[in-house]
Amino acid sequence: MLDSGNQILLLQRYPMLQSLPASRLADLLADATPMQLPAGTVVFDENQPCQGFPLLLSGSIRVIKAAASGRELQLYRVEPGESCILTSGCLLGHSSYHARGVVEQDVGMVVLSPSVFKALLSAHEPFRDYIFGLFSERLTDLMQLVSAVAFQKLDQRLAALLVSKPPVGDIHATHQALADELGSVREIVSRLLRNFED
């Protein structure tokens, strides 16, 4: 059961739930499981079954695809008010995860059971529109990622990443973190940054 503070935050972050009938909303809130996860926690991993549908209230989760060599490629981030399309796909397709979700910044979230997720999807049009709208956005993001990896040089992708960071002050990120976000290795990113400096 959610406390009143988390209930208010949930409805602020996910306004489509506000249009649920009061009894239906009460059932959802009674069934929802609040969770707090520290940075570095693996939320889900490849080949694991999906246990529920997370709704983020605070923090962020990186969704990554890892290679056997240890290299990683960030597919997308899940922020408060968003949800994970990989989780939606696993629940809809009755399949396991094909990537890993790692808490980037301490997360507060509410997890809906698979049965509640499916009931909302089938009976509540605003929730269904939200899920499929997010599928469309993430698919566009993933197509841009594929295009960048396939057709842009790494120095261009690194420059674009650096420019996308907050415009005020220094950028606080390790070379490894930048490499992970670009699907590269630290040594190459370090060399490119030295070239930028020169």
pLDDT tens-digit series, residues 115-140: 999 999 999 999 999 999 988 988 88
pTM for this model (two decimals): 0.77
146 or 56: whose pLDDT is higher?
A: 56
In order, the DSSP letters of 43-69 are: EE-TTPBP--EEEEEEEEEEEEEE-TT
* Selection from 100, 110, 124, 119 nearest residue 47 by Cα: 100
* Selection from 144, 29, 40, 52 nearest residue 101 by Cα: 40
101 or 175: whose pLDDT is higher?
A: 101
Max distance between CA atoms of the chain, in angstroms, equals 64
Chain mean pLDDT for the chain: 87
89 HSE (CA, 13 A, CB side) = 12
**Can you tell me the distance from the alpha carbon of 45 to that of 56, in angstroms, rounded to the nearest whole number?**
18
In single-letter form, the type of residue at position 108 comes to G
Least confident of 2-11, 19-28, 71-80, 148-157: 148-157
